[in-house]
Amino acid sequence: MMKPNDNRDPLLADMYDVADDDGDDGDDGDDGDDGDDGDDGDDGDNGEAPETRASMLSVTCDCGATFTSVVYHAVNVTLEPELLYQLLADSLNVAVCPNCGRRARSATPFVYHDMARGLFAYVSPDADLPDEQRQALLENLRAVYSRAVEVAERLTPGADTSTAARAGRGAQAAPGIPEPDAPPMQVIFGVEQLRALVDSLLEPDQRLGKVTLTAPGSATAQRDRIHAIAQRLASEAGCLTETIERGSEYAITIYGPRSRVGVIARALRQGA
Ligand SMILES: [Zn+2]
């Protein structure tokens, strides 16, 4: 497994370290606290629209390479549609060693928001969380969500603030309570579960498409050429790329909405 360079952020898995550069409040938590301290709730406290927030992570791989990787705490695919495809391609919050290609998923929970499709979810990447931890996380989340709802109400005069509405808000789950701005928040355990749900909400031509280019030899010039072609095609079509370089193997996958990747694939066939 990849190892962290140190452990400062309780939101991160043991395998990871964060070099927090996003002006977050910088908790110095204990690492035993598995990321359920609800940091993400602070978006609600200042009344601002949720943004995509990320940290740069410094990772040391088993092979000795040290590199940085991005970890998102809040993903808004309406504002950053490319993150939707990173999720579908399983590269969202996955650190890939540029030297040996090892992959490691961050265990940091994140908030996933798709405004257009009405999906608002708190995602715990670990699908096999022990019941105890799962319960603790849910309770903490309810508390954070309730606080955010109260703040939202104070900032939104005219919202439903009747006594009856308040009474139902106690220790029960926040989801289901009428909300002026936020859709009910789902809790999802496991990135695979999130991916299946997200995929089910997409139109067929919005689903993940991929086309892979490989360099025929190990010559640097050939690789550079393939790289340049892939980058150009991807950026023209609003798609993303992932490079796989392992010994003599060199491949670049272009991925994005199936409709756009289809156009690229046709162009490649014609050019070949
Ligand atoms: Zn490595």
Give 134-170 pLDDT, tens digit per residue: 999 888 888 887 887 788 778 766 555 444 444 444 3
Q: For residues 254 and 266, is the Cβ–Cβ distance under 8 A?
A: no
What confidence score (pLDDT) does residue 149 get? Answer: 77
Contacts of 71 (CB under 8 A, 6+ apart): 12, 16, 18, 54, 55, 56, 57, 93, 106, 108
Ligand 1 centroid–CA 120 distance in Å is 34
Binned at pLDDT 50, 70 and 90, residue 272 comes out as low
252 CA distance to ligand 1 middle (Å)? 18
pTM, two decimals, is 0.70
At residue 4 the predicted structure's pLDDT band, cuts being 50, 70 and 90, is low
Helix (H, G, I), strand (E, B) or coil at 142: helix
Say if CB 258 and CB 208 are below 8 A apart. Answer: yes
Distance 102 CA to ligand 1 centre (A): 5
Decide: 200 and 42 in contact? Cβ < 8 Å. no
> Which 3 state secondary structure label does DSSP give 59?
strand
Bridge partners, 214 (sequence order): 251
Ligand 1 centroid to 96 CA: how many Å? 8
pLDDT of residue 179: 44
For 116, the 3-state DSSP assignment is coil
The alpha carbon of 95 and the centre of ligand 1 are apart by a number of angstroms equal to: 10
The Å distance, Cα 60 to ligand 1 centre, comes to 8
200, amino acid identity: S
CA of 76 to the centre of ligand 1 (A): 30
Closest CA to 39 of 58, 18, 68: 18
Q: Give the distance (Å) from ligand 1 centre to CA of residue 16.
A: 14
Distance of CA 156 to the CA centre of its chain: 29
pLDDT at 1: 58
Ligand 1 centroid to Cα of residue 99, in Å, is 5
